[in-house]
Structure 1
Amino acid sequence: MAIRLARDAALRIRPPEEPAPVELTLYHDVLCSWCYVADARLESLREEYGNELKWSLRPYPLRPEAQIPGKKERQILARHYRRIAKESEGQGVKPDLWIGEDPPSSSLPPLVALEAALLVHGPVMERELLRAMRRAAFIEGINISRRDVQLELASRVGLDLHSFVEALDETSLEQSVNDSAEEAESLGIRGVPALVIGDEWLMQGCRDASEYRHVIDKYLRERRNGPPVRTIH
């Protein structure tokens, strides 16, 4: 026998809707040493939080102009790579990219390539190409600002090369990267890595995984208890 519940009783026993996932946006540069570490630490949290969080990447070119770095700048960049090699997430990183004969003239082209991958295949393949580019640059010392290198890596990870090249040639993608940097600066970001949580909280610089977890947990608690207040950590 079926029993029809009163309308108000039915409303009382209906399970609450799941809240929409909180968006976490990491502003990054592919060639930035500390972005390499920060993203690896955040990667360890992705499965932990599951559907509670929605992750995305936004480009922020630290070296947008096409200019071969001088000897002093290359020494500084090589030092950064040696430094992160001491972190557990940086095992295998070498400074060869900056002490070799073919250093990148700009960090803009790899970011444009990632935007092309995102446009053609979506965020999963964007991240696959990012992993391949980071391995090439940080481990193998290969200049990923070169078009031929980008095409080789895109082929390896399974991107449709015809569509990828068409997207790469879209002038609007470079403008999209520059717009992303302007957007970041409007949020108070002056360098990367920078993590924006729920369009409300900002964490600048590379943090330990435990600190990322602590701040994310705090945001989720406050979100359940009321609207979060915009803040910087």
Structure 2
Amino acid sequence: MAAPVVIDYYSDILCVWAWIAQRRIDELNNKLSGKIELRYHYLDVFGDACNKIPNQWAERGGYAGFAKHVIDSAAPYPDASINPDIWYKVRPNTSANAHLVLKAVELSYGKDKSIEIALLIRQAFYIDGQDIAQLSLLFSLLEAAGIDGERINKAMFDGSAMASLMADYQQAKALSLKGSPSYIIDNGRQVLYGNVGYRVLLANIEEHIRQPTEEASWC
């Protein structure tokens, strides 16, 4: 059996387009089970959200303008529910705390568990309207999911979680990724970015499955 096509998936936990992409990721995993391997990484889009949003959206309504943009962006996608309070009332200062916790979970419990917790954190923000920059909230979510907070603290306190997160951030810069979400297919043979539709993702990935890396491609 051929080795699965690797897809390095970079996103920011606070990116609405990554939230919208969640259903597409689930569908890809279901349809192409065993044929693809998704490796989840994080990049820095909202690491400084408390300055980024009011500054970049100063002439477009500030937080209120950005909140409307998020709601309008998700409106065509019924699977991407949006709590009306986010960015209007609930304004996380950073995505980095969530990314750090997820890296600690990955180191302590494995990649599959980290992927599971990432979805819980996104749901806490987008559906429940909770401030996922708050470490107290993040640890409450971990506790509810049966995660041992002491194991997570160890990975955070000894710097291993931070080192893993910085590796993601630096690799995203080295790859000159434009933003979230970004899909790096088959070790860089193709890069897709932004609000890429499911059929486009599927067609491109299936082409890589049919076309072995060592063979020439007409793409």
How many angstroms apart in 1 are the aligned matches of 2:212 and 2:128?
43
In structure 1, which of residues 147, 157, 160 is the aligned counterpart of residue 148 of structure 2?
Answer: 160
Is the contact made by 2:107 and 2:161 (CA closer than 8 Å) also made in structure 1? no
Tell me the CA shift for residue 175 of structure 1: 4.0
- Counterpart of 1:119, as a letter, is L
Per the alignment, residue 33 of structure 2 pairs with 50
Residues 77-127 of structure 1: CA deviation (Å, up to 9, x unaligned) = 31233121331321x312412111x41111111111111111111112112
**Number of aligned residues:** 211
1:62 and 1:191 in contact (8 A); partners too: yes
In 2 relative to 1, CA 66–174 (structure 1 residues): closer, same or farther, beyond 3 Å? Answer: farther
Unaligned stretches of 5+ residues in structure 1: 1-17
**Does the CA contact (< 8 Å) of 1:60 and 1:181 recur in 2?**
yes
Amino acid at match of 1:134: R
CA distance in 2: counterparts of 1:103 and 1:228, whole angstroms: 46
Q: Which of the residues 206, 211, 214 maps onto 1:222?
A: 211
Distance change >3 Å, CA 66–CA 49, structure 1 → 2: closer
TM-score, normalised on structure 2?
A: 0.87
* Residue type of the alignment partner of 1:139: I
Instruction: Spell out, residue by residue over 1:166-187, the C-alpha distance to the aligned partner (whole angstroms, 9 max, x if none).
Output: 2233434334323312212222
* TM-score (normalised: structure 1): 0.82
Which structure would you say has the larger Rg? Answer: 1
- Report the alpha carbon displacement of residue 45 of structure 1 after superposing the two structures with TM: 1.3
Q: Percent identity?
A: 21
Residue 120 of structure 2 is matched in structure 1 by 132
Bigger Cα displacement from structure 2, 174-183 vs 196-205? 174-183
The one of the two structures with greater contact order (alpha-carbon pairs below 8 A, sep at least 6) is 2
Deviation at 1:67, TM superposition (A): 3.5
Q: C-alpha separation between the residues in 1 aligned to 2:134 and 2:149?
A: 15
Counterpart contact for 1:97–1:103, Cα < 8 Å? yes
In structure 2, how many angstroms separate the alpha carbons of the residues matched to 1:73 and 1:107?
A: 18
Give the match for residue 6 of structure 1. Answer: none
Measured at CA, do residues 205 and 66 of structure 1 come closer, stay the same or move farther in structure 2, by a change above 3 Å?
closer
2:47 to 64, 68, 84: 64
What does residue 10 of structure 1 align with? Answer: none
Give the superposed CA RMSD.
2.2
User: Are the equivalent residues in 2 in contact too, given 1:81–1:94 (CA < 8 A)?
Assistant: no
For 1:62-211, list aligned pairs within 5 A: 62-65=45-48, 67=50, 69-70=53-54, 72-83=61-72, 84-90=74-80, 92-100=81-89, 102-199=90-187, 200-211=189-200
Counterpart Cα distance in 1 of 2:213 and 2:186: 13
- Give structure 1 regions of 4+ aligned residues with deviation exceeding 6 angstroms: none
Supply the AA of the counterpart residue of 1:99: Y
Structure 1 residues 227 and 118: CA distance shift in structure 2, 3 A: farther
Structure 2 unaligned segments of length 5 or more: list them. Answer: none
